[in-house]
Structure 1
Amino acid sequence: MPLLYFDIVEGRNQDEIKALLDTAHAATVEAFGVPERDRYQVVTSHPSSEIVALDTGLGIDRSEQLVIIHVVSRARTRGQKEKFFGLLAERLRRDCGLDPGDLIVSMTENADEDWSFGFGRAQFVTGELH
């Protein structure tokens, strides 16, 4: 946890997707201080006609390399979120060649009782996880 959902335009190969996921995970570990094995990621590829992502008037040009990441997580501080956004954009540019204008990130926070990692137990609530 956190759980990251990636929506991308179809056409990337397995190596490109692996690099995207590995890079995002490294940023997650550094920004949020989560353990290395705390990794939950889901990728969905879409035809370009199924993603509409304008710029909210910011003057951002998007390309077919667009990546939209939705993060579901326990509460994080404003500083952690800003660090995550910055690291993610910087490292995806460096490691994947992704233009930072092609990155959209949204975060949804939830509470400890909203997570079960298996066996029908809320491990943050039972104390199995901290």
Structure 2
Amino acid sequence: MPLVRIDLSATRPPDVRRAIADGVHQALVDAIGIPAGDRFQIVTPHAPEELIFDPEYLDVARQDVVCVQITLVAGRPTELKLDLYRRIAAHLASAGVRPEDVFVTLTENALDDWSAGNGLAQLVDRGGVVGVPAAHAPR
């Protein structure tokens, strides 16, 4: 059950913002295997001067950054994460975002760090999470 925050320039129109959100979600479905209905996203437009990203750090030529922050349960292997980054960049390119402008960060936590409502820890109660291979499942 990832929680996705997308911060981007308010100069991107609402239909493009939605296409970006759709692209990130599809990448999560394709790379990590979350169910299509497992969608929790917060899209926040900002004035361009509120997004401060170095234009050349690590030799990436950034112009109009779309920052994607994904919080998810720990346990996925590096290869899966790398595939996720590639898929996000590819899907966002379809929405008109340059791959150089796609900035992604993952924050991992445990099953008991989530409550999807009603004051319950649904992931703990279910004993696992979709998209984490059994060999990598949190213990």
Length-normalised TM-score, structure 2: 0.85
Cα distance in structure 1, aligned partners of 2:14 and 2:105:
24
Cα distance in structure 1, aligned partners of 2:14 and 2:24:
15
Match runs of 1:1-130 below 5 Å: 1-55=1-55, 57-64=57-64, 66-75=65-74, 76-93=76-93, 95-127=94-126, 130=129
Corresponding residue pairs, total: 128
Deviation at 1:128, TM superposition (A): 7.9
Name the residue aligned to 2:137. none
Q: Which runs of 4+ in 1 moved over 4 A?
A: none
Cα distance in structure 1, aligned partners of 2:46 and 2:69:
15
Length-normalised TM-score, structure 1: 0.91
RMSD: 1.6
Gaps of 5+ in 2: 130-139
Gaps of 5+ in 1: none
Percent same amino acid at aligned positions? Answer: 35
